[in-house]
Amino acid sequence: MKRFKLTLLLILCLGLMSIGTIAQAQQTAVTLTAWTHDQLYLDYFNSRLPEWEAANPDIKFTYDFQVIPNAWDQARTALAAGEPIPDLLGIERGGFGGFMKNGTIANYFVDLTPLIGDRAKDYSAGRWSIYSYQGEIYGIESSLTPAVLYYQPDLYKAAGVEPPKTWEEVLNDVGPKLAANGNAFTFATNDGTWFQMYFNQRGGDIFDKDGNFVMGNDANKALAVEVADYVQKAVKAGIFMPVLGGDVWSGATLPTAYTDGKLASTVMPDWWSSCCLKPNIPDMAGKWKMANEPAWEGGGHATGTWGGTGWSVAKGPNQDIAWQFLEFMYLGKESQIERFQKVNMFPTMFDAMTDPTVTDVTDAFYGDTKIGQVYADAGKDMVVWYNSEYFSAYNTAAGADLPALFDGSMTPEDFVNDVITQTQNAIDFGS
> Domain with 61 in it: what CATH number?
3.40.190.10
* Rounded Cα distance, 86 and 36, in Å: 10
* Rounded Cα distance, 29 and 167, in Å: 56
Q: Which residue has the higher pLDDT, 54 or 15?
A: 54
pLDDT tens, position by position, 130-150: 999 999 999 999 999 999 999
Domain boundary among 295, 326, 353: 353
Average pLDDT estimate for 59-65: 97
Whether residue 186 is predicted with pLDDT greater than 50 in this model: the reply is: yes
Whether residue 40 is predicted with pLDDT greater than 80 in this model: the reply is: yes
Whether residue 33 is predicted with pLDDT greater than 70 in this model: the reply is: yes
Same domain for 298 and 217, yes or no, is yes
190 domain residue, yes or no: yes
Helices 333-343 + 319-330 axis angle, to 10: 70
Whether residue 5 is predicted with pLDDT greater than 80 in this model: the reply is: no
Least confident range of 92-96, 331-335, 341-345, 352-356:
341-345
Same domain for 180 and 280, yes or no, is yes
Pairing of strands 88-92, 28-36: parallel
In the chain, what percentage of residues exceed pLDDT 70? 94
19 domain residue, yes or no: no
246 domain residue, yes or no: yes
Alpha carbon of residue 168 to chain centroid: 27
Whether residue 10 is predicted with pLDDT greater than 90 in this model: the reply is: no
Check: CB of residue 284 under 8 Å from CB of residue 259.
yes
Average pLDDT estimate for 42-52: 97
Domain count for the chain, please give it: 2
Same domain for 51 and 61, yes or no, is yes
Same domain for 119 and 178, yes or no, is no
Single-letter amino acid code for the residue at 361: V
Q: What is the pLDDT of residue 20?
A: 45
13 domain residue, yes or no: no
Alpha carbon of residue 300 to chain centroid: 20
pLDDT tens, position by position, 207-223: 999 989 999 999 999 99
pLDDT tens, position by position, 362-371: 999 999 999 9
In the chain, what percentage of residues exceed pLDDT 90? 90
Closest residue by Cα to residue 31 from 316, 330, 328: 316
SS3 259: helix
1 domain residue, yes or no: no
Same domain for 291 and 319, yes or no, is no
pLDDT band of residue 258 (cuts 50, 70, 90) is: very high
Same domain for 30 and 111, yes or no, is yes
Average pLDDT estimate for 171-200: 98
pLDDT band of residue 431 (cuts 50, 70, 90) is: low
Same domain for 220 and 296, yes or no, is yes
Same domain for 273 and 184, yes or no, is yes
SS3 201: helix
Same domain for 312 and 288, yes or no, is no
Average pLDDT estimate for 269-281: 93
Same domain for 213 and 267, yes or no, is yes
pLDDT tens, position by position, 340-356: 989 889 999 999 999 99
Check: CB of residue 271 under 8 Å from CB of residue 40.
no
pLDDT band of residue 430 (cuts 50, 70, 90) is: confident
Query: pTM for the whole thing?
Result: 0.89
Domain extent for 329: 26-144+308-353
Average pLDDT estimate for 400-411: 98
17 domain residue, yes or no: no
Whether residue 153 is predicted with pLDDT greater than 70 in this model: the reply is: yes
230 domain residue, yes or no: yes
Single-letter amino acid code for the residue at 46: N
Same domain for 83 and 214, yes or no, is no
Same domain for 197 and 343, yes or no, is no
Give the dihedral sign, CA 216/222/225/226: negative
161 domain residue, yes or no: yes
CA angle in degrees (0–180, nearest 5) for 183-189-192: 145
Whether residue 22 is predicted with pLDDT greater than 70 in this model: the reply is: no
* Rounded Cα distance, 144 and 299, in Å: 21
